[in-house]
Homo-oligomer: A and B are copies of this chain.
C-alpha cells in the first residue's frame, strides 16, 4: 500500500518522466510521439514509460503497431495527499512558532 508511494515519488523524480506527464495532460499520445524531443534511444525511453506505468501514473493500450499512452489520475492524488497532510502539519508548527515569535516581539524586549 504505502509502498506505492515509493514508486510514485521515484517515478516523479526524473525530468524525462515529468515531461511525459506534462505532455499527457494535454491528452493521450502514442509512444513514438512522446519519444520526440527526448534525446535518448527508444529502449531507454521505454524504460521511463515502464516506470511510470508500474507506478500506476499511466496506462497504455496497443492498437495495431501503435501503443497509446494515457494518464492515470488516482495515484497522483496519493502523493498529493501525503504531501499536503505533512505540509499542513509542519506549516501548523511554523505558524505556532511565528505566533510565538510575534508574542515575544510584543513583550517589552528590554525596554
A: residues with CB less than 8 A from B are 2-3, 5-7, 9-10, 12-15, 18, 21-22, 24-27, 71, 73, 76-77, 79-80, 82-84, 86-87, 89-91, 93-94
8 A-B pairs with the lowest CB-CB distances in the bound complex, closest first: A10-B13, A9-B13, A25-B89, A9-B12, A25-B90, A71-B90, A80-B83, A9-B9
Copies in the complex: 2
Query: 28 A-B pairs, CB-CB below 8 angstroms?
Result: A2-B15, A3-B15, A5-B12, A5-B13, A5-B15, A5-B18, A6-B14, A7-B13, A9-B10, A9-B13, A12-B82, A12-B83, A13-B13, A18-B82, A25-B86, A25-B90, A25-B93, A26-B89, A71-B90, A71-B93, A73-B87, A73-B90, A73-B94, A76-B83, A76-B87, A76-B90, A80-B80, A83-B83
Having A25-B90, A71-B93, one finds 11 other A-B pairs with CB under 8 Å, namely A5-B13, A6-B14, A10-B10, A10-B13, A22-B86, A25-B89, A73-B90, A76-B86, A76-B87, A77-B87, A79-B83
Where chain A touches its partner, the secondary structure class is helix
